[in-house]
Structure formats: structure tokens, C-alpha cells
Structure 1
Amino acid sequence: MSINNPVLVLNQNYQPLNVCNARRAIVLLGRGKAETLIDGEEHIATVSRRVPIPSVIRLIYMVKRPLVRRRLSRRAVFYRDGFRCQYCGMKSKNLTLDHIVPRSRKGAHVWENVVSACTPCNHRKAGFTPREANMRLLTTPAAPRPNPYYIFHHRQIEDEWRQFMPWME
């Protein structure tokens, strides 16, 4: 259904902000809050005319977005660590999460205390710290830097959007 087509929303300075559906984009256009930069191939028929469904719109006003810290999740930790065990360096899709300071010792569930580990290394370390288990971390864990374009990394990007996303070229 064309009213649910994805539409790229750009800030006043042409920086990608978000993706909304065509219905929301048409409302923004109708209220004078945005302008169409690229029309899509489909149209919506109204009582008096055919309205092209936009593919890219730009807001008339500037929206300041705060940089948001990324939420801690298993998948995010595995991506941060490159799907590599942080103790032995083995690359694998079958990893576990390991707390450097174990939860049983009041270790926090935060970016700086969680790493990817293969099952053998995780069992070997068990409830010890890396020093007590005589194991060394390959990298010091840290929270990923805030990235305003993170919402686009795991999304289907339309061809006509690419000109507004320089990091993709």
C-alpha cells in the first residue's frame, strides 16, 4: 500500500533525521512544515487532483537532536567486539556475554563491564575476574560513540536517498 511507503526526512541543513511513512510526510507537507525534494513513482488520488507520494522531504525548520547513547544489548556488544571473543580472539557467531567483574560480585551490567566471549573462555573465567583467572582482554571495553545515523545502519536504503547519506558511498 503506497500510503505506508517509507519517506526520508531531512533536517533544514539536509542532514538525514528519520524515516516516516508517506501519510506522515503528506501531513507535514500539507501543514507547510516540509518541502518535497524527490517525488516517488506513485500517486494518491484526491477528490480534485493526483498528489505524488514523496520519497525525500526536507523540514523547513531546524530540529536539534541530542546525541543518544546506544542501548546495551547482546547484539550491540557482539557488533562492538566484531563477533570476536575478547579473551582468545576467536571469531564466531556463537558467542556469550561475559561480565568482567562478575554480577555475583556486584559487577554492573554496563558497556564498560560486558564483553563477547566464546563458551570455553567464559567457562574458564567463570565467576572470577580476568586477573584471577589469568586471562587478558584483547581490548578495553567502552560504550560506542553516539552516532546520529545509527537508525539507518540496519534499514533498507532506497537508491534516491543515497545522495543524502555521504557515509554510505
Structure 2
Amino acid sequence: MSRKVLVLNADYSALSICTVPKAFLLVYLDKAELVSDSPKGMLRTVDKSYPLPSVIRLNHYVSLPFKGVMLSRQNVFRRDGNKCVYCGSHEDLTLDHVVPKSRGGKTNWDNLVTACRRCNSRKGDLTPEEVGFTLPRKPYKPSFIMFLRDFAGSIEENWLPFLGTKERA
């Protein structure tokens, strides 16, 4: 079962995404309540049917000291659509520092982009402008809600009220 379920905190703020079995277990054990079910099916046992969860809300508030998107290779790839920002290739992806580290470039969201090995080698120790590359958009740090909304794969229509509008910050 590859469907995903939006998990809300007790105050209805988006907290995370989990699998259907995990969400069902939380609801079944009364640790969460079903906010919205999916019209695309039911969970069936031998003698019972249960609604397929789409959005659940935890019964107790969970305090998260850090609610941001962690900088990782896979998260940068997700932000950039799993393709090279310079040529659009999906093959041999690597991370590229827009301002090279040898020139004082930092390893952060605003300086890392996804690049294929060929473009990364061609760019080398230069800036994109010096090589003739153009960035389609400036690298940015996605917000937690933006990450859930835009990079978690397909989302269901009934998630949108909890994830805000489609506009990027």
C-alpha cells in the first residue's frame, strides 16, 4: 500500500506524512482521529470495513523544537525536481555549489543545486555565468509546509486546506 496520509498535530497544523497502515493503527488505538477519509476505497478485514484514511489528527499536541527541512542530498534533488538545473538531465545527478567552495561558497540551501556529472565537471571551479550556464531560478530553502505540499509526491485534494495555497514563498 503506497498511499500516504497527512498527519496533523492536535492544533490542526501539518506535522508529517505517514503510510496508511501507520495512520490506521493510530486511529484504531485512539491516538488520533480521522479528519478526512479517501473516497478511493476502504480498508477491509474478513468481517469489517474501515474508511481509508487521508488526513488524521493526533489527540495530543506534539511539540517540535525544529520544524524545518533538513539539508540533505535527497532533499536538494527533490527541490530541483530530480533533474540537472543546467541541462535538465535525470542521469548521474550530483550536488553543485553555485559559488564554488574554493571561492568561499557555503554548503547551504541557497548555494546548492542539482547538476548532472557532465555539467558539474564542465562548470568545475567557476560560477555558472563564467561557463555560460543560467539558473532557471535562484536556489532557496523550502519551508516545511512547502516541502510537504510540493515535494512529498502526489497529494490529495482534501490535504490542501491544511497545507495552504500553491504559491511559493
Tell me the TM-score range normalised by the shorter chain.
0.5 to 0.7
Distance in 2, matches of 1:27 and 1:63, equals 18
* Offset from partner CA, 1:37-57 (integer Å, 9 cap, x none): 12233131254x322222221
Distance in 1, matches of 2:43 and 2:111, equals 52
Greater Cα radius of gyration, structure 1 or 2: 1
Match of 1:88 in 2: none
Match of 1:42 in 2: 42
* Offset from partner CA, 1:22-74 (integer Å, 9 cap, x none): 21112111221111112233131254x32222222111111222123532546
Corresponding letter in the other structure for 2:88: K
Q: How many residues align?
A: 155
Match of 2:148 in 1: 151
Match of 2:61 in 1: 62
Distance in 2, matches of 1:59 and 1:156, equals 22
Structure 1: where are the runs of 5+ without partners? Answer: 86-91
> Does 1:93 pair with 2:112?
no
In the superposition, the TM-score normalised over structure 1's length comes to 0.60
In the superposition, the TM-score normalised over structure 2's length comes to 0.60
> Does 1:21 pair with 2:19?
yes
Q: Do 2:11 and 2:61's aligned partners in 1 also have CA atoms closer than 8 Å? A: yes
Corresponding letter in the other structure for 2:141: P
Aligned-residue identity in percent: 28
Give me the CA root mean square deviation.
4.5
Structure 2: where are the runs of 5+ without partners? Answer: none
> Does 1:75 pair with 2:77?
yes
Distance in 1, matches of 2:35 and 2:162, equals 11
Q: Do 1:36 and 1:58's aligned partners in 2 also have CA atoms closer than 8 Å? A: yes
Distance in 1, matches of 2:19 and 2:113, equals 37
Q: Do 1:44 and 1:53's aligned partners in 2 also have CA atoms closer than 8 Å? A: no
Corresponding letter in the other structure for 1:100: V
